Amino acid sequence: MEGENFTTNESTELLQHIAKNMVTREDVDQIVSGVVGKAKAEIMDYVDKKDREYKGELNLKIRKEDYRVDAVISTLQDKNVIDDKKARELKKLSPFAQTG
């Protein structure tokens, strides 16, 4: 290879090949924005899934605690510590208020 020179024609072909196959900034921006967009969508899906899971767990814990509070209200009512009207008022304050 030493001592070989490119001809003008070979140089032109090489430059045309490089120009034709060169990655432009727009190409890089398009690829990066696609990858970032996909990663963002995956992260948002994960966050949404975890949010639903935590809300479900929280809902179950609140229902369990609500059941306990209702039991205390019923016990107080049975022992005549509070009257029926007050028991109904307290039960209406529940996050899962009972009707009737």
Task: Give the model confidence (pLDDT) of 24-71 as tens digits.
Answer: 888 888 888 888 999 999 999 999 999 999 999 999 999 999 999 999
Is 84 domain-assigned? yes
Q: Rounded to whole angstroms, how far apart are CA atoms 34 and 42?
A: 12
Q: With the C-alpha atoms ordered 72, 74, 79, 80, is the resulting torsion angle positive or negative?
A: positive
Note down the domain range covering 47. Answer: 8-92
Residue 100 lies in a domain: no
pLDDT at 1: 47
| Distances, alpha carbon 24 to alpha carbons 32, 35, 37, 47, 72, in Å | 12, 17, 20, 34, 71
Residue 98 belongs to some domain of the structure: no
Task: Check: CB of residue 82 under 8 Å from CB of residue 73.
Answer: yes
Domain membership of residue 23 (yes or no) is: yes
Cβ contact 97:91 at 8 Å: yes
81 within some domain: yes
Confidence of residue 17 (pLDDT cuts 50, 70, 90): confident
Domain total for the chain?
1
Asked whether residue 52 is assigned to any structural domain, the reply reads yes
Work out the burial of residue 26: count CB atoms within 10 Å of its CB; fewer than 13 is exposed, 13-18 middle, 19 or more buried: exposed
In a domain, 2, yes or no: no
83 occurs within a structural domain = yes
